[in-house]
Each structure stands twice: as structure tokens, then as C-alpha cells.
Amino acid sequence: MIIVMKPNAPQSSIDFIVKTITEKGLQTHISKGEEVTIIGVVGDKSRLSQQNLEIAPDVEKIVPVTETYKLANKKFHPEPSIIKAGNTEIGPNNLTIMAGPCAVESEAQLMKIAYAVKAAGANILRGGAYKPRTSPYAFQGLEEEGLRYMLNAKAETGLTTICEVTSLDAINAAVKYVDMIQIGARNMQNFYLLKEAGKSGLPVLLKRGFAATIDEWLNAAEYIIAEGNPNVVLCERGIRTFETATRNTLDLSAVPVMKEKTHLPIIVDPSHATGVRAYVAPLAKAAVAAGADGLMIEVHDNPAKALSDGPQSLTFEQFDTLTKELRPYAQLSGRIF
Amino acid sequence: MIIVMKPNAPQSSIDFIVKTITEKGLQTHISKGEEVTIIGVVGDKSRLSQQNLEIAPDVEKIVPVTETYKLANKKFHPEPSIIKAGNTEIGPNNLTIMAGPCAVESEAQLMKIAYAVKAAGANILRGGAYKPRTSPYAFQGLEEEGLRYMLNAKAETGLTTICEVTSLDAINAAVKYVDMIQIGARNMQNFYLLKEAGKSGLPVLLKRGFAATIDEWLNAAEYIIAEGNPNVVLCERGIRTFETATRNTLDLSAVPVMKEKTHLPIIVDPSHATGVRAYVAPLAKAAVAAGADGLMIEVHDNPAKALSDGPQSLTFEQFDTLTKELRPYAQLSGRIF
Amino acid sequence: MIIVMKPNAPQSSIDFIVKTITEKGLQTHISKGEEVTIIGVVGDKSRLSQQNLEIAPDVEKIVPVTETYKLANKKFHPEPSIIKAGNTEIGPNNLTIMAGPCAVESEAQLMKIAYAVKAAGANILRGGAYKPRTSPYAFQGLEEEGLRYMLNAKAETGLTTICEVTSLDAINAAVKYVDMIQIGARNMQNFYLLKEAGKSGLPVLLKRGFAATIDEWLNAAEYIIAEGNPNVVLCERGIRTFETATRNTLDLSAVPVMKEKTHLPIIVDPSHATGVRAYVAPLAKAAVAAGADGLMIEVHDNPAKALSDGPQSLTFEQFDTLTKELRPYAQLSGRIF
Amino acid sequence: MIIVMKPNAPQSSIDFIVKTITEKGLQTHISKGEEVTIIGVVGDKSRLSQQNLEIAPDVEKIVPVTETYKLANKKFHPEPSIIKAGNTEIGPNNLTIMAGPCAVESEAQLMKIAYAVKAAGANILRGGAYKPRTSPYAFQGLEEEGLRYMLNAKAETGLTTICEVTSLDAINAAVKYVDMIQIGARNMQNFYLLKEAGKSGLPVLLKRGFAATIDEWLNAAEYIIAEGNPNVVLCERGIRTFETATRNTLDLSAVPVMKEKTHLPIIVDPSHATGVRAYVAPLAKAAVAAGADGLMIEVHDNPAKALSDGPQSLTFEQFDTLTKELRPYAQLSGRIF
């Protein structure tokens, strides 16, 4: 932590800061410049959490130099983590493809899609049973019934399954039916839900919030891991910007940034990021080229009739073409697919 | 709803759209231009919810012309709503001041602050008992114990009380102790929580999400009202932009925009928006001048020792000066304060 | 300047940094923490401009602690500046109102508007003769002819005049006809134009770029002042965010932030920020309440027929009502108007 | 163009709109819904440019359905354009690599870099002679002297050359020395410069502004083409968002979006977008995978001593490794490299 003093801060203000810090058992190093004085702080910063030195006299600003997340931090865990979900491993050696409908609509539909995505090479079946929708009048999901269909689809196809959860009730149900749970973008800072996901014991796919910085996203992961559940996979799905040509702006830079900051795997969801079917394939390839550990892709047997997010869903044929095209990209990044 | 066809869309594609729509009992009006054909759709749009016409052949885009929120919409409820909470009325006739600590820290502290903000003119005591914090290692609030202190502070001072809720458990507790609940920015699209807040029967202060559009914010309000609870107050608290001189960018335009779009009252929180104590007073005055129905301001007996958000909290003296300065602004906007 | 080293940076890397810095005649102060080592640098940072220490071995990041702008910086010029333009003074004692049409369309129109805004209390007549338009097919302005009309309007009404410039040619013309020039948002980082504006000797209104940080904006002002022209007035006119209910998001926080960072006056343009006539009045009042030194407002004799930005222009009657309503707000902020 | 009327707009308001439009020789089609009436407008919209129907009585909003850019629009020019610059062709058949230093620093340096990037496979030598820098105190470029070095480097190596221009003077100089000019992000809406670039006759690389929408970017290209110069190449270089882990957020979605909207080639600059050397290679590969027609990459003989943007520049070795790694990606997208 570095404390930058205002220009011409009197010695008394500097002394006050130093005294406050040393009383808590930390050390200070002072650099006096012509314009400003800076005070480097060494020791356990958590002891200063109630000091609010930002508003001490003549303090200009405080610059943190260490991250608040520890368990998710690559500095303390340099090797990339491999997260197991069902019979799938997500990490540096594989390209994991999660595919399926935005929303589970019926058992027949889910089964049909499950067989199709499996045939095309997907490892994990996605399907929403609890749907967070902007309007209360839009289809909200089949809830536990949808989860049951997921279990049946897994039994039939052997695919690993993942489902979004939006409440403790949903987590409690998900534990009984699926292999992995997902925290959606809108709930990325629903800390209550993060803690419960941590306690669930299931591996968690943590989507980035629309407006979440990389740092906040990793702190959200830290909430899950701090509950004793280290099985977190990150998912970039677009951030909110001024551009309206796509639903959100897919931030592919997040892939190499995360590879520097954390040991957790990161996958990319080009379907939700763009909201447009035609952009899914080029951005899926780009994600793999950028180093992503996997993809989440929406696939539907009849996108024109999908109850949710039809316009961004691939048909079986489009998905099959995409996975074929992805294979050489997976190979170039040294991944099994 | 308007459907814009791609240039030179063949008649067969136009016919397909018209057939799909008329089969559902709606009507179409076609405008054929030189470049594009547009199809106006008249009737109950919800019948088209499963049609995904965006991906029908030769459709360029679909432009909605009516809002998805109805109960929150001024078009169907032109008179401004007055929301009652405890013995306070929030709406066009008053300037409601909610003030108090970011987090309830102890009963003695809360009581001291309650008396101080009441003396300065605040109507509602705010105090967080369930704190959503970016890092899992930061102070998370006193939970139900904090709510009990709020009840006592109300008993002593007569102030109306408000507390943020972050889970169903928190709502169930809040119902017993406080007059009004708050849904925070991070939970604005936690639709599960919105529904439960709607069922609680308590008036709800709905903060705008960091990255929420006006339209999404009103749809979130719609979730609460759709559960039979019309007592929603909106709170602008800054949106996330590229600018880092303030924590968020306070969007005061939201005040006149909301006055056009909804009958719900809107208040402004300059403390969280800026994160900087020195900017609270000028922006509080600006909010009142822009037409806000109230303010939420953080006040602490000793900001330098606050467990949460100290740097943005006003001292008693600063708050007292602010309320004095606000009175003529309230008068100019025809509000009692 | 503070250099933060990567965790466990070897001594050799630290030594390299220290050697590089001390060779240039600056001093270092080292704080060794458990996780990281930080190196405070004291002395003339410009000597390090070619060192790129960010990419020296084991450097994690470099944190600047002093601003790059000096002449615009309040630290070195604590008293607020008063900028003279024509017979007007812009600064802490007055509320300056710049009003007029987006584009000068004809002499008769300009004269009519000039008399009307003067009668309502405006000090400065604005009118665009060089119009930056998104599409090349939109009206681009009357150029020098428009400036001549401005000169005549000044002669008739005695109003101070301001006109946007978009090229050196425009500046050379403006010098002959108007009292003050404006650099528009799209040219805020057109450094060539900033330098020429600095050389022109005319006072300059510098609008904030759509995506410019406060820091970049002040550096743009520095370009003008560094040419020997200290007469710069800042103008907040909205930044680009995800919100589409208004054309841009008016960042009123910029007013108190600028009051802390610079001695230059700051005015606010609610017309361009919102793009919607109905929002101009509430945000104009809010700007004054937030401490702005003035306003820029678009006024047109017949907004429905304006060649540019009609939908955001006030009629004479609306402008007259607004200035009447603004007077008590000016008084509350201790300004003459 | 579609005009959406306010709910319950009286017939007289609808009649007024229809009359205004038909008087200008356009046609209207009316769709009367229960809530709103929409009026489709067919004919030459430019005749309505002075009508400002947005503020006619009872108009809620106007929705444009055709783009304002025509020459850059794929609808009227479906085949992808191939732009010739020097002896290079930029378009769908090749992967064009522009590489070189951020700023030309000396002739010796430029020559060394030119040979190195040529050896690694670059087609075009980039090098800034007119540098737009945030601070007026940073190195501003060698100007015409730098251009002369570019000419010599071209003579020696046979590489095509490109240089940014920031003024008419710079364009006039560039015409004498280089093969292609670049309009930088900060000047993307410097319409004066765009027109002059159009008149220059040289092919133009048009970088996207930090805060420019796709639509504005294409309108900026239209300014150049409208001057009779169809040789425009687009360059995505990151947009400004709230995320600070990278300098800007590279918007790779812009690549497939542009492929749908325009016939102009699009290249990607991962160096300026991220500002971080380590992220250049993964994002360069991602750009090619997304369908980009080329890349612009900063390369320096000694990044640690670069006068501008050293931290994002690749060394010769890093660039050589990158081009080797890029070859199979070029092949996968069917491009010669």
C-alpha cells in the first residue's frame, strides 16, 4: 500500500499517518519528493481496515499494490488448475465445449439437442432451468422439472451437465441433478449466492458481470473458493459498452489477462456476448486462438421457435460445422478436442 | 413492433412474416420503400414471444415501439405515485432525506448517528446490516443484530428506517424490524430477490445497477410491482463508465428521464456515486435542482474509523451544513423539507 | 512515481532499476514488503521518459503520483482564473450564459436569435459556422459567411460571440470576426488544432471529448496554455456510456472534480449532452447548483426547422422561462446573473 | 424511417406529420395499434432533413431504418474491396502485416527495424512522424524528417510504408514520401482532416475512435470516399470501457460486424488496444481467427528505450516468433501470408 500526500503536506500530517500505521504493527518508508511525499506501507494491511487513511489530513490518495484475492491469485498458485466436472476436465490440456439450449423447454427437445451436440463433439450439456429475464413477463424457466430433464439427458448421453442457479432453492435442487452450476452475469456480485455456491461442493462456472472489472470478477471467485470450493471456472460473456452493433462487447483480452492473474480456467461465451448467430463462429475461433480453455455455445433444434435467445442460437448443422472448424484451432493451441 | 426487412427481400420472405404474424391474430401494415420494406405489427405482441422473427429469412432487425414494463409506466399511470414508508411520504411534495452510516457497527454508534441526522432534518435512517462487499475478507455486516439496533433507533427517534437486503433470509428478518427495504445496485437484476421483495409487502428502494439502462431498471421495478407491491422508489447511484476521478458516474439525467417514463419517485445517492466526501454536497444540491424526490447520504460519527465507506461519509457537522444549504433548493423545487 | 516490483523479484532486478534511476540523477526509496517491493522515485521524472521501466525485468507496474499537466493545475495556481472574452468575464463571480443556434443559418435568423437571447439575459452568443457532422451529407455550416453574421450580430447587440473552429483556416477566419473560439468534443485531442488555438490568442472554450477522462481533458487544456494562451474555459457536454435514453451522459461530477484539480472555469452544455429539449432546463439548474461557472444552451427561433440539432433547441419562450428560473440558483451559488 | 407517435396522439398530430411528409414528395404508411400509431416513411429522406419531426406534436421517437453511409455500405457494393498500397494488396486474399516502431526516432533505428520486420514477413512498414500525445511535454515526432527516413527505408527494403497524419501540412508532406496515410483514433471525427485525406489520393488507414460506434466509424470512412478516394482500410484498435487491465478494450466483434456492413477491409491493432506486450500475440492470433484482413503491430529494436509506447512493442525476436505462429492461422482463414 502506498499513501500519496498532498503537496506541501505539513510534517504533522505525515507524522500522524506514520503513527497510525506503526501503532498497528506495520512499517512505513517515506520518500520525500519536491512536489509530493509518498509513504510506503509494509505489513499486514488488514490491520488498517478500519483506519480510512484516505480522509486523514493531507492525504491525496492511497494506491493498493497487492490484490485482495489470494486463493484465486496466480502469485500464490502458479500452476494452472484443472477443474473436474462430471467426467470432464476443464483446463490447459483440453478445449471444453459446453453447448445446448438457452432454456430447457421440454424433455424431448433437450434430448434431441443433447444427442446432436454430443455428436458434434460437445463435452458438456448446458440448459437453463432458472432463467433470469429482463422482463417479468418473459418465460422464466421450467425450474426443477428442467433439472430433471437434464439428469435424464446425462443418463442417456453420458454428457456432463451444467445449469444456471439463481437462488439457494435452485442450488439445493441443482445438487441433486447436475454436475456443475453456473452463476450468471447478473448475479456475479450476488455475494449471498456466491457463498452458497461455494458451500454446494459443485464446480462453479462464474460468468463475468456486464460491468465487472477483472479484479471484481476474481474477488467474486474468491468468495466461492473461500467457502472451501476451489472448483471455479471463469466465463467471459461480454461487457457493457456504448457499442450497440452487438448485444455486449466480447472482451477477449480478458483471456490473456486472466492467464496472467489467476490459475483458474477461463472459457468464452460468444453467443450471449454478441446476441447474433452470424458472429458466434468467428468469435469462437478467436477465443480459442486467444487461449481460452473452452467455449459455451447456444444450440437449438429450431432457433426460430426457441423460448429464449433464439436469434443467437446455432442450428445443429451450424454447430456441427463450427466444431469441425474449431478442431485445427484447438490443435494449434495444443489442446485435445 | 416494426420489422425491417433486408434490401431486396423477396416477396416470399415478406409473405412468411405476414403469415406468421396474422396466424397469431395480429395485424400487419407494410411500407415498401426503395431500399427496404418495413412491416408494422399491431396487436398483442406477447403472442409472438416464441416466434423469433429476428432470424426469419431476410429480416434485418426488429424495432420494439412499446415498453415491456406496464405497471411502472407513466403512460398507464400518469399521476406521480406517493410512496409511504413508516411515517414518511416519498413523492412530488417532499424532499426526503435518508441518512445514516454505510454499515451499522454498534447500537451506541447507530443511536448517536440517528439523533444527529434527525436533528439536521433527515426523515429516514439508513444503516446497512447485510453488506455486499467486493472482497470476502471485508466486513460483511452485523445481520439481524444490526436490524435490531435499527428498530431501537426508530423507537428512540421516531425516524423511519431502511435497510438493504441481500437474500430471502434478510428480507424475512427485515420485515420484523424496519419500515423499508433496499435492493442494492449489485442485486438490481437478482430477479429472485426482486420477487421476494415484492412479496414482502414492504416499500422497496430499488437502486440502479452499475450497468443498467433506464429500461432495465424499470423492468426490475416491474418485477416487484408485478408481485402486488406498488411501493417502489428508484435510486440513482452512479453508473460505470471509463472515468476514474469518481467511483462511478452519477447520471443526473436519469432524474428528468424517469419523470417522463414512470410515476415512481426517484431519489439520488451522491455518496456511493462519487465515493468522495467533497463531492457529496454539490451533487446533492444538483440532484434536488434536477427534480429528485429525495437524497440518500452517508453520515458517520467518525468517518476516519468507519468499517465501510468512511471516505465518502459526512461528519455530523458537514451533514448539518448540507441540510441547511439544501433548504432553499427544496423550496425552489416546491418541496417541503 | 512509484515502481511496484513483481513478488519475489530478485535483488538483481531491483538493483537494475535503482541503477537506471540514479544514473539519471534521481533518488530512490525502497520499501520491501513480504509480497512486494516498491520503489519510490524522487526527482525530475522527465529524465526517465526514455527508460520504459514498465518492461524492465520483474516490474509489475508503475504508478504515477504527479499530474502531467502543470499550467492547468490548481496545485501551482490555487486561485480560480477569470477568463475575459469580449466584454464578458467567465469565472467564480458570474454565471455566464452562452446561447444561440447550433448552426448559423442566415443573417436574419441569427440577428433574431441574438436579440432574443440577449433580452433573456445571455452574455455570449453562440452559433456554429463550421459544423462537425457525423454524416458527410448533413449540413456542414456557412463557414466564413457565418462568422461575418456573428460579427454583425455582435455589432448590433453588443453580445460577446463564440464560434467553433475545426481547422487552421477556421481559426484564421475566426480571429477576424469573433471574441472566443470553441474546440468541439470530437477535436479535443486534435493536438494540432489545440496548438493553433493556443497561438491564436483568443480565449478558448474546450469541450470535453466523448471518451476523455478528466486527466486527458486537462492535458488538452495544457496544450493550449503551453502555447502562451492561458485563457481556457472547460465545457462538460456529456460522455459516452451504455445508456441510450439521452444522447450522452452528462457528467455533472466533473464540475466539483474540476474545481479541485484546476483553476480554469468550467461551464456545462446540457443541450448537446442530452439531445432532448425537455431535459435541458432541469440539468441547467443542476449544473448551476453543482457549481458550474456558466451554461451553453441551444436556442432557435423555430426549432422544428433548424438545420442542425433542432430537437434539443429551446424556443425563445422556453429560454426566457429558463433564465428566469435560473436566477435564484445563481444567487444561491453567489454568482451575478 | 419510422415515426412512432405518443399513445393517444390525436388525429390532428398524425395528420400534421403526414402532411409535412407528403408535401416533400414522400409517402407514408400508417399502422394504428392499440397503444401507439406508427408511420412508415417511404422516399428520399434527405428532403426531410430540415423538418425535425422529432419535436412535432405527439411524436415519441423516430427510428431510422437505412444507414446514412452509402459508398462504404456493403448493400450497394457487395463484393469485398481490395485496397492497393505501394506493392501491397489489402483484402480478403491476404493477411497484411503492418509493423514498425510507434515513433520514428532516427534513420538508423528505422532502417534496422525495417529490415527486421521484412525478414519476419511484414508487408508494410509503419512508423509515426507526427505523434499525437496526451501530454504536450511528451515527444511529438520528427515530422517531415521522419517521413524522409520512411522513404529511404522503402527504397532500401522495398516495403510499402504508412505514416499517421494529423494536419493538412502532414498530409502534404506524406504525399511526397509514403504509400499510405493513417488517420488516428483521436482524429477519427476530425472531419476536416478526413476530407483532406480523401483529396490526397493516397490510400487511408482509418483507425476507430476510442468512443466511436461502428456506425460513426463507417460514416467517417464515407467522408473520405465521398471526396473521390475509395481506398479506405479500417483498423480496430480498442474502445474505451470501464476495464483498466488493458489500455483499451479490443472489440474483435467489430471484425465480423464490419464484414456484414461494409466492403472495406478491416485490420486489427492489438498493440495500442492492450498497451501490454504480453497480450499482443494471443490477440493477434484471435484477430486473424475472427477474420481480420491484417494486423498492425509495434516492433522496436530496443523497447526499453523507445521514445513512445515501448511497453507494448515487440522485440525483433518476439515479432519473428509471432509471424511464424500466425502462418497456420492465416492458412486456416484462406489467406496468403
Q: What is the mean pLDDT of chain B?
A: 93
Say yes or no to pLDDT of A184 above 80: yes
CATH (domain of A147): 3.20.20.70
Does residue C89 share a domain with residue C19?
no
Phi, psi (rounded to 5 degrees) for A330 = -60, -45
Give the gap in angstroms from C-alpha B200 to the nearest C-alpha of chain C.
Answer: 31
Q: Tell me the average pLDDT across C183-199.
A: 97
Residue A50 falls within a domain, yes or no? yes
What is the domain count for chain A? 2
For an interface test with B, which of A137, A223, A229 has the most B Cβ atoms less than 10 Å from its Cβ? A137
Are A286 and D287 an interchain contact pair (Cβ–Cβ within 8 Å)?
yes
- Closest CB to C55: pick one of D130, D138, D311: D311
Count of B–D CB contacts within 8 Å?
70
Min distance D261 CA to chain B CA atoms (Å): 12
**DSSP three-state, residue C173:** helix
Residue C259: band (very low, low, confident or very high) from pLDDT cuts 50, 70, 90: very high
- Residue D50 has what pLDDT? 65
Q: ∠B195-B198-B200 over CA atoms, to 5°?
A: 115
**Residue B50 confidence (pLDDT):** 66
Range of the domain at A220: 74-332
Closest chain D residue to C54, measured at CA: D311
φ, ψ (nearest 5 deg) of residue B84 = -95, 135
What is the identity of the amino acid at C334?
G
Which H/E stretch holds residue C98?
A: strand C96-100
Give the residue from D8, D31, D34, D261 with the most B CB atoms within 10 Å of its CB, the best one to mutate: D31
In contact, B162 and B98? CB cutoff 8 Å: yes
Contact at CB, D241 and B242, closer than 8 angstroms: yes
Spatial contact of D296 and D96, defined as CB atoms under 8 Å apart = no
Q: How far apart are CA D252 and CA D290, in angstroms?
A: 7
Give the confidence band of B56 by pLDDT, cuts at 50, 70, 90. Answer: confident
What distance in Å separates the CA atoms of residue D294 and residue D287, rounded to the nearest whole number?
A: 8
Q: Give me the mean pLDDT over the A193-206 stretch.
A: 97
Q: Which residue has the cell 466492403?
A: D263
User: What's the pLDDT score for residue C276?
Assistant: 92
Instruction: Return the number of other C-beta atoms located less than 10 Å from residue B198's C-beta.
Output: 23
Q: Both D57 and D125 in a single domain?
A: no
Q: Chain C: give the shortest CA distance to residue B171, in Å.
A: 31
CATH number at residue A32: 3.30.70.1140
**For chain C, what is the mean pLDDT?**
93
Q: At residue B51, does pLDDT exceed 80?
A: no
**Interface touch C253/B256, C-beta < 8 Å:** no
Query: Is there a single domain that holds both residue D186 and residue D259?
Result: yes
Distance from CA of B30 to the nearest CA of D (A): 7
C-alpha radius of gyration, chain A, whole number: 23
Any D CB within 8 A of A290 CB: yes
Tell me the three cell numbers of residue A18: 506514520
Establish if D34 touches chain B: CB-CB under 8 angstroms: yes
Flag whether pLDDT at C51 surpasses 80.
Answer: no
Q: Within this chain, do residues A140 and A245 fall inside the same structural domain, yes or no? A: yes
pLDDT band at C29 (very low <50, low <70, confident <90, very high): confident
Angle CA D114–D118–D121, to nearest 5: 145
Nine cell digits for residue C140 = 456542414
Task: Compute CA distances A151 → A96, A104, A174, D145, whole Å.
Answer: 20, 12, 10, 71
Task: Return the DSSP state at D303.
Answer: G
* D75 touching B (Cβ < 8 Å): yes
Whether A255 and D282 lie within 8 Å, measured CB to CB: yes
Average pLDDT over residues B190-219: 97
Mean pLDDT, to the nearest integer, of B275-297? 97
Q: How far is B32 from chain D, CA to nearest CA, in Å?
A: 7
Q: Which residue has the higher pLDDT, B19 or B44?
A: B19
Measured from the Cβ of residue D126, the count of other Cβ atoms closer than 10 Å reads 31
pLDDT in tens, C203-246: 999 999 999 999 999 999 999 999 999 999 999 999 999 999 99
Task: Indicate whether A34 and A100 sit together in one domain.
Answer: no
Question: 3-state SS string over A86-143?
Answer: CCEEECCCECEEEEECCECCCHHHHHHHHHHHHHHCCCEEECECCCCCCCCCCCCCCC
Provide the shortest C-alpha distance from residue D67 to chain B (in Å).
10
Dihedral Cα A287, A292, A296, A297, nearest 10 deg: 30
- Rounded to the nearest 5 degrees, what angle is found at the Cα of A38, between the Cα atoms of C263 and B247? 60
Q: D279 in a domain, yes or no?
A: yes
Please tell me if residue D67 touches chain C, with a CB cutoff of 8 Å. no
Read off the pLDDT band of C35 (50, 70, 90). Answer: confident
User: C104: pLDDT confidence band, cut at 50, 70 and 90?
Assistant: very high
Please indicate whether residue C6 or residue A92 has the higher confidence score (pLDDT): A92
Between A212 and A46, residue with greater pLDDT: A212
DSSP assigned state of C300: -
| Share of chain A residues as helix, strand and coil, in percent rounded to the nearest 5 | 40, 20, 40
**pLDDT score for C289:** 98
Residues of chain D contacting residue A286, judged by C-beta atoms under 8 Å apart: 252, 255, 286-287, 289-290
Same domain, C104 and C42: no
CB within 8 Å of A95: residues ≥ 6 apart: A288, A292, A293, A294, A295, A326, A330, A333, A335, A336, A337
CA atoms within 13 A on the CB side of B98: 32
* Residue among A28, A63, A242 minimizing CB distance to C2: A63
Q: How far is CA A87 from CA A160, A207, D92, in A?
A: 6, 22, 42
What one-character DSSP code corresponds to residue A333?
Answer: T
Q: B153 or C35: whose pLDDT is higher?
A: B153
Residue C68 belongs to some domain of the structure: no
- Cβ-based contacts of C226 with chain D (< 8 Å): 136-137
Q: Left, alpha or beta for B101 (phi > 0: left; psi -120 to 50: alpha)?
A: beta
Weakest-pLDDT range from A136-145, B103-112, B198-207, D29-38: D29-38
Please list, residue by residue across C3-39, b when 16 or more beta carbons sit within 10 angstroms of its beta carbon and e when fewer do.
bbbbeebeeebbebbbebbeebebebbbbebebbbbb
What sign does the CA torsion over C212, C217, C219, C224 have? positive
With an 8 Å Cβ cutoff, is B240 touching chain D? Answer: yes
| C273-299 residue pLDDT tens | 999 999 999 999 999 999 999 999 999
Q: How far apart are CA B287 and CA A329, in angstroms?
A: 53
Kindly state whether residues D123 and D233 are assigned to the same domain: yes
With CB atoms and an 8 Å threshold, state whether A136 touches B55.
no
Residue D164 and residue D51 share a domain: no
Question: Does D337 map to a domain?
Answer: no
Condensed to tens digits (0 to 9), the pLDDT of residues B29-48 reads: 888 877 778 888 888 877 77
Q: Is D58 in the same domain as D120? A: no
- Do D58 and D93 belong together in one domain? no
DSSP codes of every residue in C12-34: HHHHHHHHHHHHTT-EEEEEE-S
**Which of C25, C42, C63 represents a domain boundary (last residue)?**
C63
Tell me the chain A residues in contact with residue B24 when contact means C-beta distances shorter than 8 Å: none
Q: In chain B, what residues touch C236 (CB-CB under 8 Å)?
A: none
Q: Degrees (nearest 5) of the Cα angle C178, C181, C184?
A: 140
Report residue B83 as a C-alpha cell.
Answer: 410512496
**Which residues are CB-contacts of C307 (< 8 A; sequence separation ≥ 6)?**
C102, C103, C105, C139, D49, D50
Chain A residue closest in CA terms to C39: A40
Q: Is residue B183 part of a domain?
A: yes
Check: CB of residue B63 under 8 Å from CB of residue D2: yes
Would strands A37-42 and A2-5 be described as parallel, antiparallel, or unpaired?
A: antiparallel
Beta bridge partners of B90: B83
Chains with 3 or more CB pairs under 8 A to chain C: A, B, D
Mean pLDDT of A100-124: 96
Kindly state whether residue C337 falls inside one of the protein's structural domains.
no
Q: Choosing among A29, A47, A70, which should be mutated to test the C contact, i.e. which has the most C CBs within 10 A?
A: A29
Q: What is the pLDDT of residue D243?
A: 96
User: What DSSP designation does B103 have?
Assistant: B
Q: Would A69 be classed as within a structural domain?
A: no
Name which of B319, B266, B301 is nearest B108 in CA terms: B301
pLDDT of residue C312: 87
Higher pLDDT pick, B332 / D50: B332
Q: What pLDDT score was predicted for residue B299?
A: 96
Tally of CB atoms within 10 A around A64: 12
What is the C-alpha to C-alpha distance for residues D334 and D209, in angstroms, rounded to an integer? 29
D191 close contact with C: CB closer than 8 A:
yes
**SS3 (DSSP) at B329:** helix
Residue B309 pLDDT greater than 80, yes or no: no
Residue of chain B nearest D67, judged by CA positions: B35
Q: Does C4 sit within 8 Å of A65, measured CB to CB?
A: yes
- pLDDT tens for each residue of C129-170: 998 888 898 888 999 999 999 999 999 999 999 999 999 999
Cβ under 8 Å to D: C residues 157-186: 166-168, 170, 186
Look at residue B1 in the predicted model and tell me its pLDDT: 82
Q: D16, exposed or middle or buried, with CB in 10 Å at 0-12, 13-18, 19+?
A: middle
- Indicate the residue of D55, D191, D304 with minimum beta-carbon distance to C132: D191
Predicted local confidence at residue A162, as pLDDT: 98
The pLDDT assigned to C113 comes to 97
Mean per-residue pLDDT of chain A:
93
**Cβ contact A252–D254 (<8 Å):** no
pLDDT higher than threshold 70 for residue C50: no
Residue C69 lies in a domain: no
- pLDDT number for residue D92: 97
Does residue A128 sit in the same domain as residue A169? yes
Whether residues D48 and D101 fall in one domain = no
Q: Which of D17, D41, D63 is the last residue of a domain?
A: D63
Q: Which residue has the higher pLDDT, D35 or C1?
A: C1
C148's CB contacts (< 8 A; 6+ apart) are C177
Residue A182: predicted pLDDT: 98
C-alpha cell at B287: 440532484
Domain boundary among the residues A31, A63, A95 is at A63
Task: List the pLDDT tens digit at each of the 337 positions of chain D.
Answer: 888 888 788 999 999 999 989 988 888 888 887 777 888 888 887 777 667 788 888 888 888 888 889 999 998 999 999 999 999 999 999 999 999 999 999 999 999 999 999 999 999 999 999 989 888 988 889 999 999 999 999 999 999 999 999 999 999 999 999 999 999 999 999 999 999 999 999 999 999 999 999 999 999 999 999 999 999 999 999 999 999 999 999 999 999 999 999 999 999 999 999 999 999 999 999 999 999 999 999 999 988 887 777 788 999 999 999 999 999 999 999 999 9
